[in-house]
Amino acid sequence: MKRTLTVCPYCGCGCMFYLVSDKGRLIGVEPSTTHPINRGGLCVKGWNAFAFVHHPDRLTTPLVRRDGALQPASWDEALTLVVERLRGVQEKHGADAVMFASSAKATNEENYLLMKLARAVFGTNNIDHCARLCHSSTVTGLAETFGSGAMTNSVSCIDQTDLILVIGSNTTEQHPLIGSRILNAARNGTRLIVADNRRIRLARHADLHLRHKNGSDVPLLLGIMHVIIAEELGDPDFIAARTENYAALAAAAANWTPERAAAATGLTSAEIVATARLYAGAKRAMIFYSMGITQHSHGVDNVRGIAALAMLTGNVGRPGTGVNPLRGQNNVQGGCDMGALPDLYCGYQKVADPQLRDKFARAWGVAYLPETPGLPLTRAMDAASAGYIQGMFIMGENPMISDPDQGHAFTALQNLELLVVQDIFLTETALLADIVLPAACYAEKEGTFTNTERRIQRLRKAVEPPGGARADGEIICDLAERAGYQGMRYSSPAKVMDEIATLTPIYGGIAYDRLDPHGLQWPCPNRSHPGTPLLHVERFTRGLGHFSPVVHRLPAEIPDDEYPLVLTTGRTYFHWHTGSMTRRTHLLDREEPRSFIELHPDDAARLGVRDRDALLVTSRRGEIETQARVTTMVIPGVVFMPFHFAEGAANALTNNVLDPESSIPEFKVCAVRVEKLP
Ligand SMILES: Nc1nc2c(c(=O)[nH]1)N[C@H]1C(S)=C(S)[C@@H](COP(=O)(O)OP(=O)(O)OC[C@H]3O[C@@H](n4cnc5c(=O)[nH]c(N)nc54)[C@H](O)[C@@H]3O)O[C@H]1N2
Ligand SMILES: Nc1nc2c(c(=O)[nH]1)N[C@H]1C(S)=C(S)[C@@H](COP(=O)(O)OP(=O)(O)OC[C@H]3O[C@@H](n4cnc5c(=O)[nH]c(N)nc54)[C@H](O)[C@@H]3O)O[C@H]1N2
Ligand code: SF4
Ligand SMILES: [Mo]
């Protein structure tokens, strides 16, 4: 039996475990006992992370559509065709008629390579990844206020804080090893405030549970700040020494009396006053947030409000404080760090800056790099349905199930002249492709993932990929070579990281020989630097912290007579997003085998619905059938659905309206009607 130390392929906690294999087959996992986050534990997905690897549905050979059907092809044929057809689309419609979607499931090295391929070889900045659907509001909002969009603190700070505010994060289910750390802290006396109208597990242990209306976080935060300012509970020394533009924030909060905030949120003014006093009264307070904050048409404003609350009370730059956006996918932090973003190279270096363009052009040995920022993923889908984008290369994403408004996503993908999908399974998106490329999964390759606390960790090859499947990085380099570019010849992923280090100041000191056993946290500018657990200590990354005033806007779609309920969407503990991996893991699928919708007993009674009844759910975009789960998890007037299930897909209903600044969709609020099926 062989044990291979590697990183969990699911969530941003970045737990490490040993893959146990026997005669080339995985038979289990053993958690690392020394890892700073999982410390000998794993959640149920981690314990089962070996199971999908040998699933018979794994893609083993390239597929090319002939006579309307996907048929096996050789690598040579498939890759030549990808290059020819991408070039063909560009010749006909221009360089920016193609879009590259990168993957938060792929490694840092692979994300770097795909962004290099898009920019240096195909001459377009049209590259993005699922961070657009996830924390793009954070990247925009925290870059503006702090200068860096990553978690300010480390997970270990949970053990050193006096108070934790969890807002819009179902931490025990979605970041389980961080959630259990918060639960333990709460049991040991750390105060806990949960602002989320679902009765999530953390809420049951909270000092205060705020069940405010979906989409009302801006008035909630303004109301809290109003009380802090009025009662002089803030930190004037911190504001004076470390921040700018405070007057504008104070003016924005001035009208938000607790009474007005109560009316806008559905809370009582006493709850808002109590929250303000409890949060501001803590010596050290941490904020954790996730999709309940970001996935709104005002997601960036939500993030600005959170940043302002932390600065108002001096809760940045010390252990046990900070603003901590929990990054979702195992390597979504890395996907952003590596520049799989339309406006940024690796290390958040702007493509619009001529000096930086020059630096990358010289390093990559090309005469020209495109100047104008590319399209965000969500806007590219709009552009595809309007006919401007004609070719898409999608690596490790499944937008047919994960994009808002499935009908719209389907039209966009159907309209394309060329769709290439590189995945480990034949997903709903791959079924629409012209060419499918079979990828190796995490257990079959070397590389690094960067977790939510900016920790860059090594994954290692434990077994061979099935059949002809190849690592994403190898496929990308092969494509570059066939496109006539010689600057992507590497003897190993370690060499790719060496190149990343020379071009990316925050990764400047990263090299494989330094990453054992549990990685380094960026910024790590040089080889003798120990990494950085805590950001913004003496100064903010941008210099002074910036207070951005926020204005309250309602969600784009609010309930009316025709669609009287608010639908909010999210996840469950057992499944991962579009289910490609977890629905192929018997022990996980057994726990949550089908699509369901949570609704409050009052709404159920009004509709004559009982638990487990079959329901029809309709929005302005579409309708689906699903099963009732009658529960006080939700508040009256709000229904919740996970988006994991292709049959009964929540995204057939969701609204693809975008935040104007970050282009994130409003996954967390739309209006629906629920009816009992006969
Ligand atoms: N098991 C599992 N774990 C996962 C994932 C998975 O698919 N499965 N996905 C990963 C990824 S990529 C991500 S991004 C994270 C997401 O992690 P989370 O953001 O924690 O998960 P969600 O279920 O999307 O939403 C969290 C909460 O937001 C609340 N919410 C909805 N609307 C609002 C609002 O207007 N205001 C506030 N304050 N709260 C609101 C919901 O009630 C819900 O409890 O999870 C990661 N972890
Ligand atoms: N309604 C609603 N929709 C949402 C959200 C929501 O809260 N509500 N949340 C949004 C968020 S935050 C996110 S992050 C997105 C996630 O959306 P997606 O990223 O589309 O979802 P995943 O299922 O994680 O897709 C990952 C794909 O990568 C494949 N894969 C796994 N490993 C590898 C590999 O090593 N190489 C390659 N090439 N492929 C691999 C998997 O088989 C899978 O098809 O969903 C978004 N959609
Ligand atoms: S908490 Fe996240 S990283 Fe850890 S085992 Fe579970 S899914 Fe994997
Ligand atoms: Mo995400």
CATH code (residue 282):
3.40.228.10
* Residue 266 Cβ contacting ligand 1 at under 6 Å: no
From the list 23, 108, 517, the residue with the least C-alpha distance to 340 is: 108
**What is the pLDDT confidence band of residue 39, given thresholds at 50, 70 and 90?**
very high
Same domain, 67 and 40: no
Q: Taking residues 632-651, report their average pLDDT.
A: 98
Nearest ligand by distance to the CA of 292 = 1
Chosen domain end from 274, 304, 326: 326
Whether the CB-CB separation of 614 and 625 falls below 8 Å is answered with yes
Distance, CA 4 to ligand 3 centroid (Å)?
17
Same domain, 479 and 592: no
Range of the domain at 631: 565-676
Q: Within a domain: residue 651?
A: yes
Please name the residues in contact with 305: beta carbons below 8 A apart, sequence gap of 6 or more: 217, 218, 221, 222, 225, 550
Model pLDDT for residues 394-413, shown as the tens digit of each residue: 999 999 999 999 999 999 99
Same domain, 196 and 278: yes
- As a whole number of angstroms, the distance between CA 128 and CA 403 comes to 14
Q: Within a domain: residue 227?
A: yes
Q: Within a domain: residue 346?
A: yes
What is the DSSP track for 456-491?
EEEE---SPPSTT-B-HHHHHHHHHHHTT--S---S
**What is the pLDDT confidence band of residue 449, given thresholds at 50, 70 and 90?**
very high
Q: Taking residues 291-305, report their average pLDDT.
A: 98
Reduced to 3 states, what is the DSSP secondary structure of residue 155? helix
- The domain tally of the chain equals 4
Query: For 427-585, where are the E strands, in sequence order?
Result: 435-438, 447-450, 455-459, 520-521, 545-546, 565-570
Q: Within a domain: residue 117?
A: yes
At 114 the pLDDT is 98
Atom of ligand 3 nearest to the CA of 175: 1
Same domain, 296 and 390: no
Atom of ligand 2 nearest to the CA of 429: 44
Query: Which residues are near ligand 4, the ion (C-beta closer than 5 Å)?
Result: 134, 328
Chosen domain end from 326, 358, 377: 326
Same domain, 83 and 157: no
At 55 the pLDDT is 98
From the list 40, 143, 107, 42, the residue with the least C-alpha distance to 450 is: 107
Same domain, 178 and 303: yes
At 273 the pLDDT is 98
Q: Taking residues 603-619, report their average pLDDT.
A: 98
Q: Within a domain: residue 317?
A: yes
Structure tokens at 467: 């059949």
At 424 the pLDDT is 98
Q: How far apart are the first and last CA of the chain?
A: 55
Share of the chain above pLDDT 90, in %: 100
Model pLDDT for residues 147-174, shown as the tens digit of each residue: 999 999 999 999 999 999 999 999 999 9
540 secondary structure, DSSP code: B
Q: Within a domain: residue 533?
A: no
Chosen domain end from 277, 297, 326: 326
Distance, CA 538 to ligand 1 centroid (Å)?
32
Q: Within a domain: residue 207?
A: yes
Whether the CB-CB separation of 289 and 324 falls below 8 Å is answered with yes
Same domain, 113 and 128: yes
Q: Taking residues 497-526, report their average pLDDT.
A: 97
Share of the chain above pLDDT 70, in %: 100
Please name the residues in contact with 561: beta carbons below 8 A apart, sequence gap of 6 or more: none
Model pLDDT for residues 4-22, shown as the tens digit of each residue: 999 999 999 999 999 999 9
- As a whole number of angstroms, the distance between CA 113 and CA 497 comes to 10
* Residue 169 Cβ contacting ligand 1 at under 6 Å: yes
Q: Taking residues 364-368, report their average pLDDT.
A: 97
* Residue 402 Cβ contacting ligand 2 at under 6 Å: yes
Distance, CA 675 to ligand 1 centroid (Å)?
26
- As for ligand 3, residues whose beta carbon falls within 6 Å of it are 8, 10-11, 13-15, 38, 42-43, 45-46, 176-177
- As a whole number of angstroms, the distance between CA 250 and CA 311 comes to 12
Distance, CA 659 to ligand 3 centroid (Å)?
30
Whether the CB-CB separation of 452 and 327 falls below 8 Å is answered with yes
Same domain, 513 and 662: no
Looking up tokens 């109590």, which residue turns up? Answer: 274
Please name the residues in contact with 572: beta carbons below 8 A apart, sequence gap of 6 or more: 173, 592, 642, 644
Looking up tokens 């480390």, which residue turns up? Answer: 154
**What is the pLDDT confidence band of residue 598, given thresholds at 50, 70 and 90?**
very high
Same domain, 264 and 350: no
- As a whole number of angstroms, the distance between CA 629 and CA 642 comes to 12
At 58 the pLDDT is 98
Structure tokens at 478: 């092969």
Same domain, 360 and 409: yes
**What is the pLDDT confidence band of residue 50, given thresholds at 50, 70 and 90?**
very high
Per-state percent for the chain, helix, strand, coil, to nearest 5: 35, 20, 45
Structure tokens at 303: 């993030």
Q: Within a domain: residue 536?
A: no
Nearest CA, atom 4, ligand 2: 402
Q: What is the pTM of this model?
A: 0.98
98: how many CB neighbours lie within 10 A of its CB? 28
Same domain, 176 and 302: yes
548: how many CB neighbours lie within 10 A of its CB? 18
Nearest ligand by distance to the CA of 325 = 1
Q: What is the CATH number of the domain that holds 579?
A: 2.40.40.20
